[in-house]
Amino acid sequence: MLNVFKNLFSSAPEVDYAKLVNSGAMIVDVRSPGEFNSGHINGSINIPLEEIKNKSGELKKKNKVIITCCRSGNRSGIAKSILDNQGIECYNGGAWNVLDHKI
C-alpha cells in the first residue's frame, strides 16, 4: 500500500547517485563559498548558483554527467534547469548532506 502512494506522488524515478558517481559524474555544489566551506561532499566542486550559467561552457567541455546539490534542493533544482538548457546531462541531488549518504 505504501508503494502505491509512493508511486502516485513520486515525480521522477529514483536515481542511483552512487552508480552515476562511480561512472564519473561530477558533483557541483551550488551553495555560497561560505556554506561550502562549512561542509561539503568530498570531491565535489563549488560553483555558486549565481555563477552556474557563466560556468556552463566549462562544465560542458568536461563531457561528464553533473549532479547538483545545495542546502535543501531548491538552488540545485534551478542549477539543473540551467544546465539542462545548455545541453548538459544533469541530476538534482538535492541537499548535499542527504546526497552524501546516497553515494
Is 71 strand, coil or helix? Answer: coil
The answer to whether 67 touches 99, Cβ cutoff 8 Å, is: yes
| Sign, CA torsion 57/50/76/37 | positive
Residues of the chain with pLDDT under 50: 1-2, 4-8, 10
pLDDT of residue 11: 53
Question: Annotated catalytic, 69?
Answer: no
Q: Which domains does the chain have, with CATH numbers?
A: 14-102 (3.40.250.10)
Alpha helices in 24-95 (DSSP H): 33-37, 49-61, 74-85
Its pTM stands at 0.87
3-state SS, residue 80: helix
State the catalytic residue, choosing from 30, 70, 79, 83.
Answer: 70
Q: What is the pLDDT of residue 14?
A: 87
